[in-house]
Chain A
């Protein structure tokens, strides 16, 4: 397990170095697009802790991203806290919110109930923001003036400066996911995914591990929001909506659940490519829907999952056919004919 952890950790660092280099060389008119890739990448990789590792389908993951952003802006502007302190507190607040929602939700994670409860949480948050405009800025959102812009390091623009931070966020999220997957916690989560009653029989409470994963994934989403809101200088309730949550799920399912590369490929396909080719929004919707349908029908393990299966098949040594009359014992089903 430790060799795998070292290999995956090295992979995460390598991706971080490449993205960091990209932050320096990407043309100014593509910086925002890179930032979107990094932010969505971190969101989808974090979401995979629920979908890939536990087969839980939250329909309100974007709400925690938005909650992180709103909490940062409010703590900075209304409470007057320094931005780093506001960010740390925002992530903790998101964790608390997730625990409050998570306790009743994860115990009923038989798919439908969990999705409905998380969806309801997102919609509740939107209504709260829209109906308390004095504090939350209402449906038009909140702007943030964090008083920096002219003295960026490396003479970076504000957006490019945030690229560096978003690279760090993505590397942190990937690192957390790798650590969890290669830990005893990850082993327990895989067991819960395979057979909940089996884990109870071993003395583990599946609800505990679902709860931990839910809070952790939500805090990672909140962390992205902490950087996204100041980068944009603005946050609105649209960020929290179910459309965003479904888009995040779509990216993950199309790219391939259970793999960091799957999440990143999904983001590249549904966020980066349409923007690079200036795709019409209607066409983009068709792309998302079409790819989802194709993947669901033909390759439920996603594009990367499919490619990995193909690679495994190609690498498997071909065995010559048995000589006439010979029976390959390995092809006999267990217990057959005895």
Chain B
């Protein structure tokens, strides 16, 4: 009998303790994130929508059509159309398509990209009304100069070298692959017309 009373008192005490613990939580600031009103602060390494960066300083497109991202993509969601320019004999990017409906945001393409052109942005609001709208073309993928500067700073990437000037340098470095070694020499003629455009 006494043991039962003791247990009842113990139970009552424990319930009261629980109630008090829960009650104390009403004095805590809420952890709710009011998302559409207040955007979350994402870390630089966040793997959001893919995009193509341009040189923050000069504004020229960083893609060299090396197709490494296309090759490494496990989902095969990247589709690059490029051709050798008849004038310069160098690879010229015609279109760059990423099907974000297929992409699993693994970030492998950003790792292999030799020029840090393809990057994961912090954008994650990509709802669309159709699957077709999830296929981004070159125009939708390419970031503006300011956006590129923002992401280069945020991701702490080395600033890209301008394509025009360092033409002879990679040759001096020597150890780059054949295509890479070829390219700069081609590029040396490129900036002229591009700058005029």
Q: Tell me if chain B binds chain A.
A: no
